[in-house]
Amino acid sequence: MTKIIIIGSEKSGKTTLAAKLGKKGTVADFTMYDFAKSGKVLTTIDATGYPTAIKPMMAGLNLSDIAVLCIPPEGLDLYSGECIIALDLLGYKHGIIVLTKSDTSYPFAIEELKEKITKLTTGTALENWEYISVSTTSFEGMEELKEMIFDLGEVVDKELEELNELPPRVVVDQTFNVTGIGCVVLGVVDQGIINAKDKLIAFPTDKQIEIRSIQLHDVDAKTAPAGARVGLALKNVQSKDVERGFVLSQKEEVTEDLTLKCHFTPFSKGFAIEDVPHIFVGLQSAPMRVEKILVNGEEVKRTTTEAECMLTLSGSKLLAYNGSDRFIICNLDEKQRFVGYGYMA
Ligand SMILES: Nc1nc2c(ncn2[C@@H]2O[C@H](COP(=O)(O)OP(=O)(O)OP(=O)(O)O)[C@@H](O)[C@H]2O)c(=O)[nH]1
Ligand SMILES: [Mg+2]
């Protein structure tokens, strides 16, 4: 099961491409497209709410293993730049850079654009990503793109297999109530293997739940491994008590306040005491107030891009995380809204 997200600037051909890769399924602030044939299953997310909002893209990136970055012949712009920064801050491992609408460009122009992007992404998480130019009109490159996706999917599957040994953890992206069944959640098994009848806790609340049944692409299953996109019917909980971003697992840290060891991008203005950045962890996000900034052990009034900053943040929303989770720091007032990342100190 390969899960990809298509991102990029406005009108770069994202939705047209997604529609060519599968059949339209669930629609929320992102749209899912499903494809299943000869044992290959592909879920494609089109983060339709982006660039107006960054939440749908962050959710989609967390629910996927491979990012497909679309760049049209017009070249890079503010939002493709922002996507590159977001991918880099997340340390996003796998992706493909797709030069779209190749039927409206020329080979030399495509080559020039590729060189430009290569330069810009040197030293970022995208450094070694492969390029392909495609057209959804002439179908040029489409079969190769699918092959690239499934090849990369196999690499991802091997990595995911190793996560099966870890304790089970499911991130929830949608919840609803089904008459006669009760609370149903959709999400992805982040690590471990889940089984029907498993008892887990719905974090950040402390609610004990039981997995009543599991579905993989609408087919009943007894168990689901790391990386699986699942539908779960839950016992002991109502759909109104579980929301996007909830984590079903045995143990998570839960907090309203954070102390993060952070790094900021050189493009960001940074933050001063009392500023209110948006903090993302997994599919959760919350505005949080800067209480204290330490650089090299000294208290300062403003963050710097030159050194690690220790940021004390206070919030009023419970967030669930574990020690290895990466927090992404955003400033919704800046042009490039993704400004830094950090780990719990
Ligand atoms: N000639 C040509 N046009 C394309 C191709 N792909 C998309 N388009 C056109 O480009 C326009 C934008 O395509 P979309 O797929 O809506 O792009 P998008 O990135 O989803 O756009 P937004 O969601 O509005 O940001 C549409 O008019 C498409 O028909 C292509 O390969 N060749
Ligand atoms: Mg679109």
259 lines ligand 1 (CB under 6 A): no
* Domain residue limits at 308: 254-344
* Ligand closest in space to the Cα of 103: 1
**Separation of alpha carbons 100 and 91, rounded Å:** 24
pLDDT band at 293 (very low <50, low <70, confident <90, very high): very high
Residue 55 three-state SS: helix
User: What is the pLDDT, as a whole number, of residue 341?
Assistant: 98
Residue to probe by mutation, ligand 1, list 11, 69, 135, most atoms within 8 Å of CB: 11
- Average pLDDT of 204-209? 95
**Separation of alpha carbons 299 and 276, rounded Å:** 18
**pLDDT tens per residue across span 151-193:** 999 999 999 999 999 999 999 999 999 999 999 999 999 999 9
Cβ neighbors of 286 (< 8 A, separation 6 or more) are 278, 279, 315, 316, 317, 319
Cβ-count burial of 115 within 10 angstroms (0-12 exposed, 13-18 middle, 19+ buried)?
exposed
Share of the chain above pLDDT 70, in %: 100
* Ligand closest in space to the Cα of 70: 1
**pLDDT tens per residue across span 102-142:** 999 999 999 999 999 999 999 999 999 999 999 999 999 99
- Average pLDDT of 247-265? 97
CA distances from 255 to 194, 244, 319 (A): 25, 17, 5
CATH number of the domain that residue 259 is part of = 2.40.30.10
Same domain? For 13 and 156 the reply is yes
Q: Is residue 86 pLDDT above 90, yes or no? A: yes
User: What is the pLDDT, as a whole number, of residue 74?
Assistant: 97
**Separation of alpha carbons 271 and 330, rounded Å:** 10
* Beta strands 31-37 and 298-300, pairing class: unpaired
**Separation of alpha carbons 111 and 167, rounded Å:** 46
- Average pLDDT of 292-313? 97
Q: Is residue 38 pLDDT above 90, yes or no? A: no
Same domain? For 13 and 151 the reply is yes
Same domain? For 173 and 258 the reply is no
8: left (phi over 0), alpha (psi -120 to 50) or beta: left
51 prior amide bond cis, ω within 30 = yes
Domain count for the chain: 3
Residue 215 three-state SS: strand
Same domain? For 9 and 150 the reply is yes
* Ligand closest in space to the Cα of 136: 1
User: What is the pLDDT, as a whole number, of residue 217?
Assistant: 86
204 prior amide bond cis, ω within 30 = yes
14 lines ligand 1 (CB under 6 A): yes
pLDDT band at 39 (very low <50, low <70, confident <90, very high): confident
Same domain? For 232 and 258 the reply is no
141 lines ligand 1 (CB under 6 A): no
Among positive and negative, which fits the CA dihedral 278, 279, 282, 284?
Answer: negative
Residue 27 three-state SS: strand
Same domain? For 155 and 16 the reply is yes
Helices (H) and strands (E) in the chain, counts: 5, 26
Considering the chain, what is the average pLDDT of its residues? 96
**Separation of alpha carbons 273 and 200, rounded Å:** 38
16 lines ligand 1 (CB under 6 A): yes
Q: Is residue 28 pLDDT above 90, yes or no? A: no
Same domain? For 123 and 157 the reply is yes
Same domain? For 92 and 172 the reply is no
pLDDT band at 37 (very low <50, low <70, confident <90, very high): confident
pLDDT band at 292 (very low <50, low <70, confident <90, very high): very high
56 lines ligand 1 (CB under 6 A): no
56 prior amide bond cis, ω within 30 = no
Q: How far is the CA of 294 from the centre of ligand 2 (A)?
A: 42
Decide: pTM greater than 0.85.
Answer: yes
Closest C-alpha residue for ligand 1 atom 14? 13
Q: How far is the CA of 9 from the centre of ligand 2 (A)?
A: 9
The interaxial angle of helices 55-63 and 78-90, nearest 10 deg, is: 40
Q: How far is the CA of 144 from the centre of ligand 1 (A)?
A: 19
Of 249, 269, 301, which residue is a domain's last? 249
